[in-house]
Homo-oligomer: A and B are copies of this chain.
Amino acid sequence: MTDDIARLAAGMADRLVARRRDLHRYPETAWTEFRTASLVAGALADAGYELRLGGEAVRRESMLGVPPAEELAAHMERAEAQWGDPALIGRMAGGLTGVVGELKCGEGPVVALRFDMDANDMDEARDDAHRPHREGFDSVNPGAMHACGHDGHVAIGLGVAEALAALRDRLNGTVRLIFQPGEEGVRGAGPMVDAGALDGVDYLLGGHIGFQARKTGQLVCGTDKFLATTKFDVTFTGVPAHAGAAPEQGRNALLAAACAALNMHAIPRHGQGGSRITVGVLNAGQARNVIPPNGLLKAESRGETTEINDYVFARAKDVAAGAAHMYGVDHAVAVVGRSASGGSDPELAARVRRIAEGMPFFEPSGIVDSVDLRGSEDFAVMLAEVRRQGGTGTYVMIGSDLASGHHSFHFDFDERSLAPGVELFVRCVFDCMTLPARVRA
Contact = CB atoms under 8 A, between A and B. Distances in A.
Interface of A: 120-123, 184-185, 211, 227, 229, 231, 240-250, 252, 254-255, 257-259, 261-263, 265-266, 268-276, 278-292, 298-300, 302, 311, 315, 318-319, 321-328, 373-376, 405-409
Contacts of A302: 243-244
B405 A242 contact: yes
A249 B274 contact: no
A124 B209 CA distance: 48
Given A262-B258, A280-B292, A275 B269 contact: yes
A122 B255 contact: no
8 contacts: A241-B408, A246-B405, A248-B271, A268-B291, A280-B285, A280-B290, A280-B292, A322-B322
B322 A122 contact: no
Nearest to A319: B326
A283 B286 CA distance: 10
Contacts of A289: 184-185, 231, 278, 280, 300, 376, 407
A290 to B, nearest CB: 5
**This protein's copies in its complex:** 4
Closest 8 CB pairs of A and B: A322-B326, A265-B266, A244-B375, A322-B325, A281-B285, A258-B258, A247-B268, A243-B278
B248 A311 contact: yes
Nearest to A247: B268
Given A322-B326, A408-B241, A269 B276 contact: yes
B271 A407 contact: no
Contact of A245 (B185, B246, B271, B326): B271
Nearest to A326: B322
B254 A261 contact: yes
Contacts of A298: 285, 287-288
A405 B266 CA distance: 23
A163 to B, nearest CB: 31
A262 B282 CA distance: 14
Contact of A247 (B184, B270, B286): B270
A242 B288 contact: no
A271 B374 contact: yes
Contacts of A315: 328
A368 to B, nearest CB: 17
Contact of A271 (B246, B285, B290, B322): B246
A282 B280 contact: no
A270 B315 CA distance: 20
Nearest to A312: B248
A259 B262 contact: yes
Contacts of A278: 243, 247, 288-289, 291
Q: Pick from A120, A250, A262, A299 the residue with the most CB of B within 10 Å.
A: A262
A243 B288 contact: no
A282 B292 CA distance: 9
Contact of A121 (B241, B274, B286): B286
A288 B233 CA distance: 9
Contacts of A231: 288-289
Contact of A407 (B120, B227, B241, B323): B241
Contacts of A241: 405, 407-408
A408 B245 CA distance: 13
Given A263-B255, A274-B274, A375-B245, A292 B285 contact: no
A265 to B, nearest CB: 4
Given A243-B300, A405-B249, A266 B276 contact: no
A284 B265 CA distance: 15
Given A248-B311, A288-B299, 17 more contacts: A231-B289, A242-B271, A242-B406, A245-B375, A254-B279, A254-B280, A255-B262, A255-B279, A265-B266, A269-B274, A271-B374, A279-B285, A279-B292, A280-B289, A283-B283, A322-B324, A322-B327
